[in-house]
Amino acid sequence: MAVSTEKHATPTAKDGEPIIRFEHVQQSFDGNVVIPDLNLTINAGELFVLVGTSGSGKTTTLKMINQLQPQSDGKIFIIDDNIQE
């Protein structure tokens, strides 16, 4: 097993700067659109809460941020890095 000691720069954002950004994100399951066109910016230092009824897409949105569920369309950025690239 190889262990890397190489250090990588960790991108950071200052308070008020975008840290998570959704641009026209869509999610579909079996042809059914469950998140039609999500445009959202969460800035560093903000308290952000997802609230909604059961089945409204809260967990799916979190899974897309964590790359556990790829979105059907659109782009997600974390500190200006497109998470799909």
Per-residue pLDDT at 85 exceeds 90: no
User: pTM to 2 decimals?
Assistant: 0.80
Label residue 14 by pLDDT band (50, 70, 90): confident
DSSP string, 34-64: EEEEEEEEEETT--------TTSSHHHHHHH
What mean pLDDT comes out for the span 69-79?
Answer: 96
Residues contacting 20, CB < 8 A, separation 6+: 40, 41, 42, 65, 76, 77, 78
At 2 the pLDDT is 64
Residue-wise pLDDT tens digits, 57-70: 999 999 999 999 99
- Give 22-45 pLDDT, tens digit per residue: 999 999 999 999 999 999 999 999
CATH number for the domain formed by residue range(s) 18-82: 3.40.50.300
Kindly list the domain boundaries of the chain, sorted by start residue: 18-82
